[in-house]
Amino acid sequence: MPSLLHLDSSANRSGESVSRQLTALFADTWRARHGSAGYRYRDLAADPVPPLGTAYCVLGRRLERHGLVPADQVATLVETPEEDREWALTRPLVAELLAADTLLIGAPMYNLSVPATLKAWLDRVTFPLADSLFRGTRVVVVTARGGTGSPDFHTPYLRAYFGKQGVAEQDLFLLGAELTIAELLPHLADLRPRAANSLAAARAEVAALLP
DSSP string covering 7-52: EE--S--STT-HHHHHHHHHHHHHHHHH-STTEEEEETTTSPPPPP
Q: Is 9 annotated as a binding residue?
A: no
Rounded-to-integer distance, Cα 8 and Cα 105, Å: 6
Count of C-beta atoms within a 10 Å radius of residue 133: 21
With the CA atoms of 103, 8, 73 and 123 taken in that order, what torsion angle do they form, in degrees rounded to the nearest 10? 110
Q: Is 17 annotated as a binding residue?
A: yes
Q: Is 109 annotated as a binding residue?
A: yes
CB 108, CB 143: distance < 8 Å: yes
Q: Is 1 annotated as a binding residue?
A: no
Q: Is 132 annotated as a binding residue?
A: no
Count of C-beta atoms within a 10 Å radius of residue 126: 17
CB 154, CB 114: distance < 8 Å: yes
Rounded-to-integer distance, Cα 25 and Cα 205, Å: 11
Q: Is 142 annotated as a binding residue?
A: no
Annotated binding site for FMN: 10, 17-19, 109-112
Q: Which residues are documented as binding site?
A: 10, 17-19, 109-112
